[in-house]
Chains A and B, each alone.
Chain A
Amino acid sequence: DIQMTQSPSTLSASVGDRVTITCRASQSISGWLAWYQQKPGKAPNLLIYKASSLESGVPSRFSGSGSGTEFTLTINSLQPDDFATYYCQHYYSYPWTFGQGTKVEIK
């Protein structure tokens, strides 16, 4: 199985900050990576697919980059609604696996 490792596990930030979350794959996954946002008690919500494609309806302050084994999710100008947990997930080869999550907290 391909292991996905996110860093940091927790991130404290303020409204208006620029936030970057990193996801590393244990082997190359080309660009087959998605990012999700999850709020407590809710299903995850797709933000980014194919490493850098913005899902329809997702604010443009979210962006993704990377290929191979290293990927980043960037949130420009953090908004109150963005405090949540973020997960990366590869879909390069079965089984699909997720990172352990990054919780973005209010500073």
Chain B
Amino acid sequence: QVQLQQWGAGLLKPSETLSLTCAVNGGSFSGHYWTWIRQPPGKGLEWIGEIFYNGIDHSGSTNYNPSLKSRVTISMDTSNNQFSLRLSSVTAADTAVYYCARRGLITGISRWGQGTLVTVS
């Protein structure tokens, strides 16, 4: 059973860079889309972006939400089965619970991390 464990700083000042990492335990890292989603307090879900690792080479293909694309980088460390999110120049509007997750090609987002509340103040 795949489990996702995420960590990172929970309190940032405006203009700093948000950095979160998610470890994938108990399953294959290749052949899946590794995704970041966020949820502002009391609000709905917003897809941030995802990275796909085909398992053939050590590169991954990324897709980002255009609304965040200029500030977002998603990367992966295949040797440790981890993937990371960096969001630069944060403001109070970036305050949210951030989730890492796994998406299948046909299925929806079937595995989620526990979530990390990031507050920008």
**Which residues of A (35-49) have their CB < 8 Å from a CB of B?**
35-36, 43-46, 48-49
B residues near A (Cβ < 8 Å) are 44-47, 63-67, 99, 101, 103-104, 106-110, 112-115
Interchain CB contact under 8 A, A96 and B47: yes
Q: Choose among A36, A46, A98 the residue that contacts B47 (Cβ–Cβ < 8 A).
A: A98
Interchain CB contact under 8 A, A87 and B44: yes
Task: Report Cα–Cα, A46/B112, bound state, in Å.
Answer: 9
Of chain A, the residue at the smallest CB distance from B107 is A49
**Which residues of A (13-27) have their CB < 8 Å from a CB of B?**
none
Q: Choose among A50, A94, A98 the residue that contacts B45 (Cβ–Cβ < 8 A).
A: A98
Grouping DSSP codes into helix (H, G, I), strand (E, B) and loop, the B interface class, with mixed when no group exceeds half, is loop
Nearest-neighbour CB distance to chain B for A55, whole angstroms, equals 7
Given contacts A95-B47, A98-B46, A98-B47, contact A43 B108 (CB under 8 A): no
Given contacts A43-B113, A43-B115, A91-B108, contact A101 B44 (CB under 8 A): yes
Interchain CB contact under 8 A, A44 and B44: no
Interface status of A65 (Cβ within 8 A of chain B): no
Most buried by B among A44, A96, A101: A96
Given contacts A94-B63, A98-B44, contact A89 B107 (CB under 8 A): no
Interchain CB contact under 8 A, A100 and B109: no
Interface status of A74 (Cβ within 8 A of chain B): no
Would you list the 4 A-B pairs with minimal beta carbon distance, nearest first?
Answer: A34-B108, A43-B112, A49-B108, A98-B45
Interchain CB contact under 8 A, A36 and B108: yes
Interface status of A7 (Cβ within 8 A of chain B): no
Interchain CB contact under 8 A, A34 and B44: no
B residues less than 8 Å from A98 (CB atoms): 44-47
Nearest-neighbour CB distance to chain A for B72, whole angstroms, equals 11
Most buried by B among A43, A48, A91, A94: A43
Interchain CB contact under 8 A, B47 and A44: no
Interface status of A97 (Cβ within 8 A of chain B): yes
Interchain CB contact under 8 A, A91 and B103: yes
